[in-house]
Amino acid sequence: MHILLVEDDALIASGITAGLRLHAATVDHVATAQDARNAVDMAHFDVLILDLGLPDMDGMTLLKHWRDAGCLLPILILTARDAVEHRVAGLQAGADDYLLKPFDLGELVARLRALQRRVAGRSVDLIQHGTLSFDPSTSQVTLGGKKIDLSRRELALLQLLLNSKDRILTADQVQDSLYGFDYNVESNAVNVHIHHLRRKLGPHIVETVRGMGYRLGEARQ
Protein backbone atom coordinates (compact mmCIF):
# COMPACT_ATOMS: atom_id res chain seq x y z
CA MET A 1 0.00 0.00 0.00
CA HIS A 2 1.46 3.35 -1.06
CA ILE A 3 0.35 6.07 1.35
CA LEU A 4 0.76 9.83 1.23
CA LEU A 5 0.80 11.31 4.74
CA VAL A 6 0.00 15.04 4.90
CA GLU A 7 0.93 16.10 8.43
CA ASP A 8 2.80 19.19 9.63
CA ASP A 9 3.77 17.82 13.06
CA ALA A 10 7.13 16.12 12.48
CA LEU A 11 6.94 13.95 15.61
CA ILE A 12 3.47 12.63 14.80
CA ALA A 13 4.46 12.06 11.18
CA SER A 14 7.56 10.15 12.19
CA GLY A 15 5.56 7.84 14.46
CA ILE A 16 2.87 7.18 11.87
CA THR A 17 5.43 6.52 9.15
CA ALA A 18 7.41 4.07 11.29
CA GLY A 19 4.26 2.26 12.39
CA LEU A 20 2.80 1.90 8.90
CA ARG A 21 6.09 0.67 7.48
CA LEU A 22 5.97 -2.19 9.99
CA HIS A 23 2.78 -3.22 8.19
CA ALA A 24 4.57 -3.39 4.81
CA ALA A 25 3.28 0.02 3.68
CA THR A 26 5.29 2.51 1.63
CA VAL A 27 4.81 5.96 3.17
CA ASP A 28 5.70 9.36 1.76
CA HIS A 29 5.36 12.35 4.08
CA VAL A 30 4.77 16.01 3.24
CA ALA A 31 4.07 18.85 5.66
CA THR A 32 2.27 21.45 3.53
CA ALA A 33 -0.74 21.62 1.25
CA GLN A 34 1.38 22.74 -1.70
CA ASP A 35 3.74 19.79 -1.33
CA ALA A 36 0.71 17.50 -1.04
CA ARG A 37 -0.76 18.85 -4.27
CA ASN A 38 2.57 18.39 -6.05
CA ALA A 39 2.89 14.83 -4.74
CA VAL A 40 -0.59 13.81 -5.90
CA ASP A 41 0.13 15.28 -9.33
CA MET A 42 3.42 13.44 -9.79
CA ALA A 43 2.87 9.97 -8.26
CA HIS A 44 0.25 7.28 -7.72
CA PHE A 45 -0.97 6.59 -4.17
CA ASP A 46 -3.41 4.03 -2.85
CA VAL A 47 -4.66 6.20 0.00
CA LEU A 48 -4.00 9.63 1.54
CA ILE A 49 -3.96 10.57 5.23
CA LEU A 50 -4.83 14.24 5.67
CA ASP A 51 -4.33 16.48 8.70
CA LEU A 52 -6.59 19.53 8.65
CA GLY A 53 -4.28 21.98 10.45
CA LEU A 54 -1.72 22.66 7.73
CA PRO A 55 0.49 25.79 7.79
CA ASP A 56 -0.31 27.10 4.30
CA MET A 57 -3.92 26.02 3.74
CA ASP A 58 -6.71 24.52 5.78
CA GLY A 59 -6.93 20.80 5.08
CA MET A 60 -10.65 21.05 4.38
CA THR A 61 -9.96 23.53 1.59
CA LEU A 62 -7.35 21.18 0.16
CA LEU A 63 -9.78 18.28 0.30
CA LYS A 64 -12.43 20.29 -1.56
CA HIS A 65 -9.85 21.29 -4.18
CA TRP A 66 -9.05 17.65 -4.92
CA ARG A 67 -12.68 16.56 -5.08
CA ASP A 68 -13.67 19.52 -7.27
CA ALA A 69 -10.83 18.53 -9.63
CA GLY A 70 -12.22 14.99 -9.88
CA CYS A 71 -9.56 13.32 -7.73
CA LEU A 72 -10.89 9.93 -6.59
CA LEU A 73 -8.00 9.03 -4.29
CA PRO A 74 -9.31 7.57 -1.00
CA ILE A 75 -8.71 10.16 1.74
CA LEU A 76 -8.77 9.61 5.49
CA ILE A 77 -8.85 12.75 7.65
CA LEU A 78 -6.69 12.45 10.76
CA THR A 79 -7.24 15.42 13.05
CA ALA A 80 -7.81 16.71 16.57
CA ARG A 81 -10.99 18.52 15.48
CA ASP A 82 -13.48 16.38 17.36
CA ALA A 83 -16.74 18.33 17.09
CA VAL A 84 -19.56 16.51 15.34
CA GLU A 85 -19.95 19.36 12.86
CA HIS A 86 -16.28 18.98 11.87
CA ARG A 87 -16.70 15.27 11.20
CA VAL A 88 -19.88 15.84 9.22
CA ALA A 89 -18.26 18.65 7.20
CA GLY A 90 -15.21 16.49 6.43
CA LEU A 91 -17.28 13.58 5.19
CA GLN A 92 -19.58 15.83 3.19
CA ALA A 93 -16.54 17.52 1.60
CA GLY A 94 -15.44 14.16 0.22
CA ALA A 95 -13.40 12.41 2.89
CA ASP A 96 -13.83 8.63 2.92
CA ASP A 97 -13.14 8.31 6.64
CA TYR A 98 -12.45 10.49 9.68
CA LEU A 99 -10.23 9.51 12.62
CA LEU A 100 -9.53 11.60 15.71
CA LYS A 101 -6.20 12.25 17.41
CA PRO A 102 -5.02 10.69 19.63
CA PHE A 103 -5.57 7.38 17.88
CA ASP A 104 -4.52 3.75 18.01
CA LEU A 105 -2.18 2.66 15.20
CA GLY A 106 -4.03 -0.63 14.84
CA GLU A 107 -7.28 1.21 14.19
CA LEU A 108 -5.60 3.47 11.63
CA VAL A 109 -4.18 0.46 9.77
CA ALA A 110 -7.57 -1.28 9.84
CA ARG A 111 -9.31 1.78 8.43
CA LEU A 112 -6.72 2.18 5.66
CA ARG A 113 -7.15 -1.46 4.69
CA ALA A 114 -10.92 -1.05 4.66
CA LEU A 115 -10.54 1.86 2.22
CA GLN A 116 -8.26 -0.21 0.01
CA ARG A 117 -10.70 -3.14 0.09
CA ARG A 118 -13.51 -0.85 -0.96
CA VAL A 119 -11.55 0.47 -3.95
CA ALA A 120 -10.62 -3.09 -4.97
CA GLY A 121 -14.24 -4.23 -4.65
CA ARG A 122 -13.58 -6.70 -1.85
CA SER A 123 -15.51 -7.17 1.39
CA VAL A 124 -12.80 -9.06 3.31
CA ASP A 125 -9.04 -8.73 3.75
CA LEU A 126 -8.17 -12.22 2.51
CA ILE A 127 -7.21 -12.27 -1.18
CA GLN A 128 -7.41 -15.52 -3.14
CA HIS A 129 -5.69 -15.95 -6.50
CA GLY A 130 -5.66 -19.48 -7.76
CA THR A 131 -3.73 -21.55 -5.20
CA LEU A 132 -2.29 -18.36 -3.70
CA SER A 133 -3.75 -16.85 -0.54
CA PHE A 134 -2.68 -13.49 0.93
CA ASP A 135 -3.96 -11.90 4.14
CA PRO A 136 -2.84 -8.23 4.37
CA SER A 137 -3.83 -8.02 8.04
CA THR A 138 -1.26 -10.66 9.01
CA SER A 139 1.07 -10.44 5.98
CA GLN A 140 0.68 -14.20 5.65
CA VAL A 141 1.11 -15.74 2.21
CA THR A 142 0.40 -19.36 1.33
CA LEU A 143 0.77 -21.19 -1.96
CA GLY A 144 -1.04 -24.49 -2.23
CA GLY A 145 -1.49 -24.42 1.55
CA LYS A 146 2.24 -23.96 2.20
CA LYS A 147 3.35 -20.81 4.02
CA ILE A 148 5.72 -18.62 2.01
CA ASP A 149 7.99 -16.06 3.68
CA LEU A 150 8.30 -12.76 1.81
CA SER A 151 10.28 -9.63 2.58
CA ARG A 152 8.51 -6.30 3.15
CA ARG A 153 9.17 -5.17 -0.43
CA GLU A 154 8.06 -8.53 -1.82
CA LEU A 155 4.84 -8.31 0.19
CA ALA A 156 4.25 -4.78 -1.11
CA LEU A 157 4.86 -5.94 -4.69
CA LEU A 158 2.52 -8.90 -4.33
CA GLN A 159 -0.23 -6.75 -2.83
CA LEU A 160 0.18 -4.19 -5.61
CA LEU A 161 -0.22 -6.89 -8.26
CA LEU A 162 -3.20 -8.49 -6.53
CA ASN A 163 -4.94 -5.12 -6.16
CA SER A 164 -4.21 -4.28 -9.81
CA LYS A 165 -5.56 -7.47 -11.32
CA ASP A 166 -5.93 -7.26 -15.12
CA ARG A 167 -4.07 -3.92 -15.17
CA ILE A 168 -0.62 -3.36 -16.65
CA LEU A 169 1.71 -1.50 -14.29
CA THR A 170 4.66 0.43 -15.65
CA ALA A 171 8.08 0.03 -14.08
CA ASP A 172 7.77 3.57 -12.70
CA GLN A 173 4.43 2.77 -11.06
CA VAL A 174 5.90 -0.31 -9.42
CA GLN A 175 8.94 1.61 -8.21
CA ASP A 176 6.76 4.42 -6.81
CA SER A 177 4.64 1.91 -4.93
CA LEU A 178 7.64 0.08 -3.46
CA TYR A 179 9.94 3.02 -2.72
CA GLY A 180 7.91 6.21 -2.84
CA PHE A 181 10.04 9.35 -3.00
CA ASP A 182 13.26 7.50 -2.21
CA TYR A 183 15.43 8.60 -5.11
CA ASN A 184 18.44 6.50 -4.07
CA VAL A 185 17.04 3.36 -5.64
CA GLU A 186 19.21 1.08 -7.72
CA SER A 187 18.12 0.98 -11.36
CA ASN A 188 17.52 -2.78 -11.22
CA ALA A 189 15.70 -2.79 -7.86
CA VAL A 190 12.27 -3.56 -9.32
CA ASN A 191 13.67 -6.40 -11.44
CA VAL A 192 15.37 -7.87 -8.38
CA HIS A 193 12.12 -7.96 -6.40
CA ILE A 194 10.24 -9.45 -9.33
CA HIS A 195 12.93 -12.13 -9.66
CA HIS A 196 12.63 -13.02 -5.96
CA LEU A 197 8.83 -13.13 -6.14
CA ARG A 198 8.95 -15.46 -9.13
CA ARG A 199 11.46 -17.69 -7.36
CA LYS A 200 9.21 -18.02 -4.30
CA LEU A 201 5.76 -18.05 -5.93
CA GLY A 202 6.48 -19.53 -9.34
CA PRO A 203 7.79 -18.08 -12.61
CA HIS A 204 4.33 -17.10 -13.86
CA ILE A 205 3.20 -14.95 -10.90
CA VAL A 206 4.51 -11.77 -12.57
CA GLU A 207 3.88 -11.46 -16.28
CA THR A 208 6.12 -9.13 -18.29
CA VAL A 209 4.28 -7.21 -21.01
CA ARG A 210 6.98 -6.23 -23.47
CA GLY A 211 7.39 -2.48 -23.86
CA MET A 212 4.64 -1.73 -21.32
CA GLY A 213 5.35 -3.17 -17.88
CA TYR A 214 4.07 -5.92 -15.63
CA ARG A 215 0.80 -7.52 -14.56
CA LEU A 216 -0.40 -10.29 -12.30
CA GLY A 217 0.07 -13.74 -13.78
CA GLU A 218 -0.94 -17.23 -12.70
CA ALA A 219 -0.22 -18.74 -9.30
CA ARG A 220 1.02 -22.28 -9.75
CA GLN A 221 2.56 -24.68 -7.26
pLDDT in tens, 2-15: 999 999 999 999 99
Q: What is the DSSP string of 145-183?
A: TEEE---HHHHHHHHHHHHTTT--B-HHHHHHHHHTT--
The CATH fold assigned to 127-216 is Arc Repressor Mutant, subunit A (1.10.10)
Please tell me the predicted confidence (pLDDT) of residue 84. 92
Query: Are the C-beta atoms of 91 and 99 separated by less than 8 Å?
Result: no
Domain at 2-120: CATH architecture: 3-Layer(aba) Sandwich (3.40)
Q: 98 exposed, middle or buried (CB, 10 Å; 0-12, 13-18, 19+)? A: buried
Compute the distance between CA of residue 19 and CA of residue 121 in angstroms, rounded to an integer.
Answer: 26
pTM of the model: 0.82
The domains of the chain are located at 2-120, 127-216
Reported as a single tens digit per residue, the pLDDT across 142-186 is 999 899 999 989 998 998 899 888 889 998 888 888 888 876 778
Query: Are the C-beta atoms of 156 and 180 separated by less than 8 Å?
Result: no
Longest dimension (CA), the chain: 53
Reported as a single tens digit per residue, the pLDDT across 50-109 is 999 999 999 999 999 999 999 999 999 999 988 999 999 999 999 999 999 999 999 999
Compute the distance between CA of residue 134 and CA of residue 137 in angstroms, rounded to an integer.
Answer: 9
Residue 138 in 3-state DSSP? coil
